[in-house]
Amino acid sequence: MRRAACITVAAMVLACSGCARDLYPVSGKVLYKSTPAEGAAVFFQRKGADPMNEHLLMGIVQTDGSFSLVCGSLGEGAPPGEYDVLIEWKQARKQAKEDVKHGTGHPSQKSADRLNGRYADPKQPRFHAVVKAETNVLPAFELTD
């Protein structure tokens, strides 16, 4: 009985350690009205999968509009497959405090999505992507009003 338990645990450890080998680099850009959406969060959700049983795949948009996906604690990249792409662009905390201080913002809007949830609805994703078993450079995701 102990031997069976040890074998099961060893198999699980080996299976989990192999996950990272199945990740492939994924990068792209997010633009809002042709301008980099710096600070926006990009989330990939595997089509047809239960998000509660999947690793979180996300990237943060940099100054130039670029992002690279990270697969939680497993490292950079994503497993091959078809994904729905969700984007959320929350106002920077520092900017929110300044807006409230100067009377141009409201305290309850500190973490409001600048895109008003239009690109973050998992039931109606506006973007989709395919990750292949190779280096993936995706076309830019263009956000509009």
Dist CA 117 CA 124 (whole Å) = 11
pTM, to two decimals: 0.74
Please work out, in degrees rounded to the nearest 5, the angle formed at the alpha carbon of residue 123 by the alpha carbons of 120 and 76. Answer: 55
Range with the poorest average pLDDT among 31-45, 51-65, 128-142: 51-65
58 in any annotated domain = yes
Which residues form the domain of 38?
A: 23-143
pLDDT (tens digit per residue) in 70-96: 998 889 999 999 999 999 999 865 554
Q: Which two tokens stand for residue 20?
A: 């990272």
C-alpha 86, offset from chain centre: 7
99 in any annotated domain = yes
Q: What is the CATH number of the domain that holds 34?
A: 2.60.40.10
Looking at the 3D structure of the chain, how many domains does it have?
1
Dist CA 127 CA 140 (whole Å) = 11
pLDDT (tens digit per residue) in 1-21: 444 433 433 334 333 433 446
C-alpha 31, offset from chain centre: 15
